[in-house]
Amino acid sequence: MSVSTEVGAETHSTTAEAPHCSWCGSDRLSPPWRGPEPRDFQVRGCDDCGHHFTAPILGGDQIGAYYAEEYYGTKNKRFNPLMEALVRWFRQRRAKRLGQFGPIGKVLDVGCGRGLTLNALRELGWTTRGCEFSATSARYAREVLKLDVACEGFSPASYADDEFDAVSLWHVLEHLPNAREALETCARIVKPGGVLAIAVPNFESYQAQWTRYGWFHLDMPRHYQHYSASWLRERFDELGFDVRSEGHASGEQNPYGWIQSILNCWGLARNLLYDMLRTESARTVKHPWRQLPGQALVSALGLVVLLPFSLTMLVAEAFGKRGATVEFYAVKRPAAEPSK
């Protein structure tokens, strides 16, 4: 299968093998979602284990084209000052939440980016370690915050058994090409009684099922995997974890997700409103109001008009356990303790 994808002004081609499940390896797959064609990347589901993934999955040398310098923004700042302040507040809140499920000790933040969460954990007394694939993304964490961050992927060989009191993958697991290796590594390196914190887009959410390829959190091909809350619950149990908290009401992610997903379904330039909220250095469309004035106006009006609906759906998602993103905090069982 040959794929040709435009990135900026360049065209990147790759040849992919016949798709197979990235969790169990099965080639018994459901038909892809229907949507506008041609489409370079599609969502595929496994008929055997129920996992969903992007097809084709790009190799490491190819996926780098989708993480260009503007993806991170100048000095790792993606948003305007107000949005940046909110981002930092949410990161501090996240760090405090982790300490509610186990003793403060040694923590690994996988895909730590510029290190805002890791720095907040350090301020709370954690011994911190991070890994980040992109040197550009990790520069602020390493050079400004002076955090212990390795510029590498999530490699099993880098970590010892039962090394950490907590491991956090916050909107990172979906970016890892080998789902099984990633989760099994987490299970191995967390101590018994330790915490595994994972947040991912929820494939069985109302947003995903209603907006399909317009879904803001789909983000193909950067998202290799598409996890559902029910599928992850089963994996936690199989890997020896008890879920202590499952959250579907993310004020940071879900209301905006509704707004942008609906705007995408209206046929506007994909994620244009998101571009408008970012700094110029982090935009795909550098000057939205100049380049796409009509679409920019519709996006801005859509933000206002759709906000009440998005907040209403935040409540509905929480009650129905169908949030666009889901947050899990799971504690590792002692080795001899049977599954509950």
Angle formed at CA 208 by CA 117 and CA 16, multiple of 5 degrees: 85
Using CA atoms, how far apart are residues 111 and 140, in angstroms rounded to an integer? 13
- Give residue-wise pLDDT tens across range 261-296: 999 999 999 999 998 988 877 788 889 999 999 999
Q: Which phi and psi angles does 13 have, rounded to 5°? A: -115, 145
Using CA atoms, how far apart are residues 123 and 141, in angstroms rounded to an integer? 14
- Per the DSSP assignment, residues forming a β-bridge with 330 are 196, 243
Q: Is the pLDDT of residue 71 over 80?
A: no
Per-residue pLDDT, averaged over 190-219, amounts to: 96
Q: Give residue limits of the domains in the chain.
A: 69-205+222-249+325-332
Q: Is the pLDDT of residue 321 over 50?
A: yes
Q: What is the pLDDT of residue 322?
A: 96
Q: What is the pLDDT of residue 69?
A: 62
- Give residue-wise pLDDT tens across range 10-47: 333 333 456 889 899 999 999 888 776 657 899 999 99
Portion of the chain with pLDDT greater than 90, in percent:
65
Q: Is the pLDDT of residue 167 over 80?
A: yes
Q: What is the pLDDT of residue 79?
A: 67
State which fold the 69-205+222-249+325-332 domain adopts: Rossmann fold (3.40.50)
Q: In which element (H, E) is residue 186 found? A: helix 179-189
Using CA atoms, how far apart are residues 229 and 116, in angstroms rounded to an integer? 26
Per-residue pLDDT, averaged over 115-122, amounts to: 94
Q: What is the pLDDT of residue 273?
A: 94
Q: What is the pLDDT of residue 60?
A: 73
